[in-house]
Amino acid sequence: MDYLLQGFIQGFVLLFTGNAETYSAIWTTVGASTLSMIASLSIGIPLGFLLGHKKFPGKKIVRTIVDTLLSFPTVVIGLLVYALLTRHGPLGGTGLLFSIPGIAIGQTILGLPIIIAMTATAVEALDKRLPLTLITLGANPRQILWATVIEARYSLMLAAVAAYGRIVSEIGISMMVGGNIKWHTRTITTAIALETGKGEFAMGIALGMVLLTVALIVNIFASGLKKRAIQ
């Protein structure tokens, strides 16, 4: 047990002395997850509103596919994105393989089903009389859409929090698409896996504490949003 205690002590030292290698992994994670969240929310919320609000042929099939993708393994997503971005792939000329934007593409695919499914569920749970009431009050389609967003705002924020929690803790996409390149594409999760495998528990524990802190904040925030959404 001594090596664990020593690892925690050294981990705190690395964090509070601003160790460059440790914070490189942290900032890479922040950069990739921020890009992927912007893309996931920009694409996922409109699609979720469409899925939850509109009736169209094959809606149940689409909903089943989206729900199935909620458990899409990250290594499979990493494999697919790698195949697209590799030199012989259809997007090989973009130079996105082993880059932060490349990781963000994979993480966007991971986060999209969560945003779409939870947005659709939030829209479906709204009072069905809301659009009719707004129409009778003379609201135009844009105003109806905005009122719906306001009504479902806590559920939408909860969807964003849930997606971020999944994205920031994944390892398969970051490892396969990013390549775990030191000072460039090494994220918190890939650094933990690498450093622990090398027997360097201090950095692994330091980054693990960061990840646990993020998870705690996400869960506290999600819990608060759930209470507000229920009220």
Tally the domains of the chain: 1
Q: Which two tokens stand for residue 194?
A: 């690498």
Task: Supply the pLDDT for residue 114.
Answer: 94
Question: What is the percentage of the chain residues whose pLDDT exceeds 70?
Answer: 95
Average pLDDT of the residues in 30-57 = 91
Residue 101 pLDDT greater than 90, yes or no: yes
Task: Supply the pLDDT for residue 230.
Answer: 59
Could you tell me the residue range of the domain that residue 172 belongs to?
Answer: 2-230
Task: Supply the pLDDT for residue 116.
Answer: 94
Q: Which CATH number do you get for residue 147?
A: 1.10.3720.10
For 117-158, the pLDDT digits (tens) are 999 988 888 877 777 787 787 777 778 778 887 888 888 888
For 53-76, the pLDDT digits (tens) are 888 888 889 999 998 898 888 999
Task: Supply the pLDDT for residue 20.
Answer: 87
Task: Supply the pLDDT for residue 82.
Answer: 94
For 169-200, the pLDDT digits (tens) are 899 999 999 988 888 999 989 988 887 777 77
